[in-house]
Chains A and B, each alone.
Chain A
Amino acid sequence: QSALTQPASVSGSPGQSITISCIGASTDVGSYKLVSWYQQHPGKAPKLMIYEDTKRPSGVSNRFSGSKSGNTASLTISGLQAEDEADYYCCSYAGTSTFVVFGGGTKLTVL
């Protein structure tokens, strides 16, 4: 069982927006501005899409955005494109004992 809870799957049509939630606890997501999101296509290494809750690395489309409220972080993808179909994982710093925790992953299907 993963430390962070994500929905197993979400779907949307091209052009639509979707949001993936990531539920943590006051010891991880809720305590630090250190939630990140990763996109993983089949057979590929994960790619950093959002860091420090809301920031986008250089080169990542502004269609991807992150937010957080309390112990729940969210990834929103607007203007869905076929290439966005992938698995998405959230990740949080969880203090010096547990250090880093991942969510179980969400499979995004673009209909």
Chain B
Amino acid sequence: QLQLQESGPGLVKPSETLSLTCTVSGGSISSSSFYWGWIRQPPGKGLEWIGSIYYIGSTYYNPSLKGRVTISLDTSKNHFSLEVNSVTAADTAVYYCARHPTYSTSSVDPWGQGTLVTVSS
């Protein structure tokens, strides 16, 4: 059964870079059938898609975040990563990593458990 697990610092200072990694177990991120994505949820608010990456390295980003976000993958470690630069308090959120099929792009499943990242000095 495919499982995803987010990891990274829970506290980031304003103007610095937020970096998270999603480790995938029970399946390969080199599959041609899936995108690997990041979604976030500010406390008490709704879900926001951040971006996704395909196994060949193609990336797709939320236009509202483009320019601050980079998603990359490491097939040798079977994980993919998120960087958000120049963070502010508005980037405080639970960050989820997830998988979604190329043939059914909005069908996000499974999700990681999520990790809370707080932006504060």
B107 at interface by CB-CB < 8 Å? yes
Query: Could you say which residues of chain B place their CB within 8 Å of the CB of A89?
Result: 46-47
Counting chain B CB atoms within 10 Å of each CB, the highest count among A47, A102, A104 belongs to A102
Query: Is there contact, CB below 8 Å, between A103 and B49?
Result: no
Interface size on B, as a range, is 20 to 34
Q: Give min CB distance, B1 to chain A, whole Å.
A: 12
Q: Give min CB distance, A66 to chain B, whole Å.
A: 12
Given A100-B49, A105-B46, A51:B63 Cβ within 8 A: no
Query: Is there contact, CB below 8 Å, between A57 and B109?
Result: yes
Query: Could you say which residues of chain A place their CB within 8 Å of the CB of B107?
Result: 34, 36, 48, 51-52
Q: When chains A and B are docked, how far (Å) is the Cα of A97 from the Cα of B62?
A: 8
B120 at interface by CB-CB < 8 Å? no
Residues of chain B touching chain A, judged by Cβ–Cβ distance below 8 Å, are 37, 39, 46-49, 51-52, 60-63, 96, 100, 104-109, 111-114
What are the 3 A-B residue pairs with the smallest beta carbon separation, nearest first? A51-B107, A45-B111, A48-B109
Question: Known pairs A36-B107, A46-B47, A91-B49. 13 more at Cβ < 8 A?
Answer: A36-B106, A45-B113, A46-B96, A89-B46, A89-B47, A93-B106, A99-B60, A99-B61, A99-B62, A99-B105, A100-B108, A102-B47, A102-B49
